[in-house]
Structure 1
Amino acid sequence: MTRKVEVVPHNPNWRTLFETESKQITIALVENVIAIHHIGSTSIETIYAKPIIDILVEVSSISKVDENNSQMQALGYQCMGEFGIKDRRFFLKDNPAGIRTHHVHVFEVDSPQVKRHLAFRDYLNNHLEDAESYSALKQSLGSKYPHDIEGYMDGKHGFIQEIDRKAAEWHIKLSS
């Protein structure tokens, strides 16, 4: 199925959608949950984004997540396993019309992936010029690849790597 690439202005309701969904995920994954974070472009208040809520869940044991797949499925999620990233569990959720609404990325606490995602979000929320550049790139790629998610993602790859580098340096400066 071809998915439409839609990039829209920030919606303040995304925060509420994250909070509502995170409560349900906490119940589904029970005592394994350490923390839940809103990540991705919907967590950056100044930029355009695909209207898909990205949620990062830190757990004490990644293997225990698999034991709760049926609870995640009961919430409407597809269980995708690692889905290309070692030591991750990935879940997708679509609404009844088949439109993607949520991505859930689960990692063990202290995973370098957790640090990378949070640094990326925090860096862009604190560096508005880079956030605006990212927003403009996303809008341009959304127009160029309206039905080609791979083209859209490939177009962002270099920019994301550069922001990851800047975010890591910024985070180290904050910590020292």
Structure 2
Amino acid sequence: MSLRLERGTVQLEPHDKYLDKTATQTIETLKSILGDDAIDIQHIGSTAIPAIKAKPIIDIVVEVTDFDRIMLHNEQLRRKGIFYQDSDVECQLLYVMGDMEADIRTHHIHIVKWNGTEWKNYIHFIDYLKANENMALQYENLKEEMEGRYADDRVAYTNNKQNMINRISGK
């Protein structure tokens, strides 16, 4: 799997163990920069589920107590190729990695509040799919169907997965 995807597009690829190694390296980089300002950091999203296909973008969630403290690290993060983006998701900050000039993304790093709903939803969702391969495969089937319909519209792709994500997350 090549780790890169043009922003706004959808392309699913089979799981690749390289992604696990890359996610672990990114988590270690984040821990070294954020230190005690990060309570926990986890690899989430479909690339964290070995049984299913995923977009070639690593999703990571960082649990914090204070968004302002994280923003103090922006220069250090930028030096490591981690760039702050305005988040389109309420109650989160979003950082990205990739080739910003070519509009290519390799990582989405979601910063969420400690013990908050967003953290719990991310962790419950990924843990549930890792433990329930049948449901993970159903999720993969939905993703493949949405990829066929919305290959050039990631917003529609994401929105059309939301009902299943909500059901799994207990929303």
TM-score range, shorter chain: 0.7 to 0.9
Q: Give, in whole Å, the separation in 2 of the partners of 1:124 and 1:79.
A: 29
Q: Give, in whole Å, the separation in 2 of the partners of 1:163 and 1:21.
A: 27
**Counterpart residue type for residue 95 of structure 2:** F
Superposition TM-score, scaled by structure 1 size: 0.85
What is the correspondence of 1:78-89 to structure 2 with a 5 Å cutoff?
78-86=83-91, 88-89=92-93
Superposition misfits of 4+ residues, deviation over 6 angstroms: none
In structure 2, runs of 5+ residues without a counterpart are 1-5
Q: Residue 105 of structure 1: CA displacement?
A: 0.8
Q: Give, in whole Å, the separation in 2 of the partners of 1:44 and 1:111.
A: 23
CA deviation map 1:43-70 (0-9, x unaligned): 1110111011111112232220111111
Name 2:71's counterpart in structure 1: 66
Q: Residue 37 of structure 1: CA displacement?
A: 0.5
Q: Residue 42 of structure 1: CA displacement?
A: 0.7
Counting matched residue pairs gives: 165
Q: Relative to structure 2, which stretch is displaced further, 71-80 or 147-156?
A: 71-80
Q: Give, in whole Å, the separation in 1 of the partners of 2:40 and 2:160.
A: 31
Q: Relative to structure 2, which stretch is displaced further, 52-61 or 38-47?
A: 52-61
Q: RMSD between aligned alpha carbons?
A: 1.9
Instruction: Give 1:103's match in structure 2, choosing from 78, 102, 108.
Output: 108
Return closer, same or farther for 1:92/1:163 CA change in 2, 3 Å cut-off: same
**Counterpart residue type for residue 49 of structure 1:** A
| Identical amino acids, percent of aligned pairs | 29
Q: Relative to structure 2, which stretch is displaced further, 2-11 or 51-60?
A: 2-11
Superposition TM-score, scaled by structure 2 size: 0.88
Q: Residue 81 of structure 1: CA displacement?
A: 4.3
Q: Give, in whole Å, the separation in 2 of the partners of 1:62 and 1:2.
A: 25
Q: Give, in whole Å, the separation in 2 of the partners of 1:143 and 1:73.
A: 35
Is the CA contact (8 Å cut-off) linking 1:2 and 1:148 kept in structure 2? Answer: no
1:161 partnered with 2:166: yes
- Matched residue SS, 1:48: coil
Name 1:42's counterpart in structure 2: 47
Instruction: Give 2:98's match in structure 1, choosing from 90, 94, 100.
Output: 94
Q: Return the index of the structure with the highest Cα Rg.
A: 1
Name 1:27's counterpart in structure 2: 32
Return closer, same or farther for 1:62/1:2 CA change in 2, 3 Å cut-off: closer
Is the CA contact (8 Å cut-off) linking 2:7 and 2:105 kept in structure 1? Answer: no
**Counterpart residue type for residue 161 of structure 1:** N
Is the CA contact (8 Å cut-off) linking 1:2 and 1:147 kept in structure 2? Answer: no
